[in-house]
Structure formats: C-alpha cells, structure tokens
Amino acid sequence: MQTQELLPPVKEALALFPDKFSDESVYAGPLGGAWAPGRVNLIGEHTDYNGGFVLPLAVDRVASCGGRRRKDQLVRLWSTHASEYAQFTLEGLPQSFDEQRQQLPGWARYLLGVATELVRAGIVLQGFDAVVAGDVPLGGGMSSSAALEIATAQAFALFSDGKFTIGEKGTTLTYLEVAALCQRAEQIASGVMCGILDQAASVLGLPGKAILLDCRSMEYRYLPFEAPNVSVVVIDTSVRRELASSAYNERRSQCEQATQLLQKAILQADPENSQARQIKELRDITPEQYAQHKDQLPEVLQKRAGYVIAENKRVLKVVELLGQNDIEAVGAILWQGHAGLRDEYEVSCDELDALVEIAQSVPGVLGARMMGGGFGGCTINLVRNEALDALRAAVEEQYPARTGRQAVIDICRAAAGPGHTIVG
C-alpha cells in the first residue's frame, strides 16, 4: 500500500481500515482514500448568506475517508474522533432520510446528508465501508463539517466505480455544484441555514491562493496569498458551541428583515428608484444608502445590517491589497472585522475577545479576529514570523489566567482542494 504522499489523516484512515472492517466477502473493490480540506476565512464573515463576498483559503488540515466499495447499498463508518461505528443504507433515499437521521450520531448525519443530496441529484451510488479521520479542529471555526461533506462526496465518487466524476466542465458534477449540494446536506443534517462559504472554500482550494467568491453569482477568482515573512496562525479558544443554538439562524433572519425595511425606506424616499426595486439582500444596499436610511431600522437591525454592509467593503479592500501583494496591510482590516463581529453582529464571546486582545498586545501581530459562526471556535491571526514565539508565549501565559482554559495554537498554509485515490 503506497500512502507516503498522502496527508497524515488519510494515512491514518487507511491504516485503521483492516482493523475496523475485516469481512472480505462484502467488498467489490480495492482500498482507497478520499479527503477534503478545512478552511480559514481571511475576511468576509456572515456575508455569504447575504449574497456578499468572502475571501477564504483552504488549509493543510483535512477530513478523510479510507475504505472500500461494498457489493450492496450499505454505508458503514468508523469515526476516529468519536470512537464509534455508524451505518445507514442508500436504499429509500431521499425519502428515508428523516427516519435514518434520527438513528445516527451527529457526525454521521453529515455523510447521510451528502448521500441524500447526491441521490436527489440523480447520482447512482454504491455502498462502502470507511474509517473517518481528520485533523480539522471540530467545531473550531475551520469548517470541519464542510470538509467532511466534501470528503464524503469524493468518497462516493471514488467508490462509484467510475459512474460519476467531480471536476470542471465535462464531469458529472462541477466543483461548485458539489459545494452547493454539500451546503444543502449540511442544512438538512444540522438544521443550520448556512451559506456556501465553507463548502466552496474546501472544494476550490489551491496552494498559495486565497479565493474571492461572489456568493450570489458564484463567480470566483484566485488571489496570491504567499508572504515569506508572514504566517497565518489559528488559535483555538477550546470553546465549543453548536451553531443551531448560537443564534446563527436568528442573525440570518434579522438580515432579511433589515433588507426589507431598508428597501421600503429607500423606495419611500425615491419612488422612481429602479435600482431599489432590485434589492434582494444586504449586498445590494450601498454604504451611502445605509447611512441615509438606517434610522428607519430598530437598533438591533441597524447593528446587523451595518456590520454586513461594512464587511463586504472590507473584503473588497483586502482584495485590492492582495492584488498589490501587500499582505501586511491586511492586518488592520482584521482588527476592524473583529470589532464589528463583537459589537454590531454580537457573535463573539469573552474567550475570543481575550485572544484578540492578547494578540493586539504583541508587537509583530499584524491583525486578528474571530473566525467562523461565532460564540467560540478560533481566531485567525496574521503574524510576522519573528513574532510567532512572542505570540505563543503571551497566549500560553495570559489566556488561561483570563479564561481558565487552554488555547491551541496552529500555523496553517493555503493548500490544495479535495481529492481521492486508489491505494491498493
């Protein structure tokens, strides 16, 4: 078995497979592995479901499935994180989704969701057994669920015996079609009405590149994200919150309300404004229109709309800076983004704020902000390499004293997207 070129979680899944699944009589194909990366989002938080812009990069942390194709319609799984088995059948999907979902642990529901959406898309699937492993922090704001979903789609492609393919034009499903499919899978599996940021970032990743994605048109382009003297540092608060219970859906609803009220106010002020009639999301409202009409909103909706409109502007400013290869200047915009998430969107928490404040006190940290849905998870930090040790020392000394928790510090690189391979 040649696995020396594979990432460690893929190797782990493949190595564990013979111990966890040993019934040779059920298999109809060789051993293979599939994987997909987590992501960090440089800027553009909570803009995806408002039709706005995001600027993520895939990172060198992956979710993986290592296994073999079965002769039947059963999918059997072993999770290294949960240390438990789970199984479901492809028979009866999508109609059997709700009944099967109730019988599965949370992590396995994402795989069932992907299978369900693939079947709904007309894809003929084959069952498989697989070990599920990964080194994307679970619930840490680096999109472990999206990585698992994209890896699952890759696994089904791998074990379908060539019946469907994922890629660019000429394939059964394009990368962005897979991203949208996995977004729907997450929504039905978790109950969180997530945007497409996480899945698109995972499926589109390229080494040394950030991805500017227009979440309405789904147009995207790559920007250079390599600076030999600057590192991307992800610091995990060790705080875990379920997005469904962390007011994520409430924020989405508030943005929709704000859009409707702002559109009404703009039209009342100028009934002949044809552009205002085309307003569908906060992305369509300019900063000038918001400033003129924000008093028509309740205070909480002013905050939500003000943050999203400003955040879209921040994304485009970072794009401009990256186009000039000025990664260092991006840092100041991260501080601004965190302040907006903390004070206007109100999705931060004491632990996230503590990490950002500690980072701000360390010379050589260019910028930091909370990342992900909020209420826990990670911060993203842009740090000059000579300041890495000082940041680590400051976090290790001050964070436990302030929060009673231990933080986990990791350095990430912009990395490639998903893949799969037969190994023997």
What are 182-199's pLDDT values in tens digits?
999 999 999 888 889 999
Residues 209 and 251 in one domain: no
Residues 206 and 240 in one domain: no
Q: Is 71 helix (H, G, I), strand (E, B) or coil?
A: coil
- Residue pair 388/236 in contact (Cβ under 8 Å)? The answer is no
Of 48, 129, 135, 198, the active-site residue reads: 198
- Residue pair 185/149 in contact (Cβ under 8 Å)? The answer is yes
CATH number of the domain encompassing residue 166: 3.30.230.10
Residues 303 and 181 in one domain: no
Torsions phi, psi of 159, nearest 5?
Answer: -95, 10
0.85 cut: is pTM over it? yes
Residues 116 and 39 in one domain: yes
- Residue pair 115/55 in contact (Cβ under 8 Å)? The answer is no
Domain contains 294: no
Cα–chain center distance at 278: 29
Domain contains 282: no
Residues 330 and 188 in one domain: no
Residues 66 and 162 in one domain: yes
Residues 147 and 236 in one domain: no
Residues 75 and 159 in one domain: yes
Tens-digit pLDDT profile for residues 86-106? 999 999 999 999 999 999 999
| Spatial separation of the C-alpha atoms in residues 52 and 216, rounded to whole Å | 7
Quick check: 256 pLDDT over 90? yes
Tens-digit pLDDT profile for residues 146-182? 999 999 999 999 999 888 999 987 789 999 999 999 9
Concerning whether 270 is annotated as a catalytic residue, the answer is no
* pLDDT, average across residues 393-420: 96
Structural domain span for residue 338: 230-255+299-412
Domain contains 13: yes
Residues 308 and 219 in one domain: no
CATH number of the domain encompassing residue 405: 3.30.70.890
Residues 114 and 248 in one domain: no
Residue 334 confidence class, pLDDT cut points 50, 70, 90: very high
* DSSP string for 322-372: HHTT-HHHHHHHHHHHHHHHHHTS----HHHHHHHHHHHTSTTEEEEEEES
Contacts of 98 (CB under 8 A, 6+ apart): none
Domain contains 62: yes
Across 47-71, b (16+ Cβ under 10 Å) vs e yields bbbbbbbbbbbbbbbbbbbbbbbbe
Residues 186 and 314 in one domain: no
The domain total for the chain is 2
Residues 239 and 138 in one domain: no
Peptide bond into 224 cis (omega under 30): no
Domain contains 206: yes
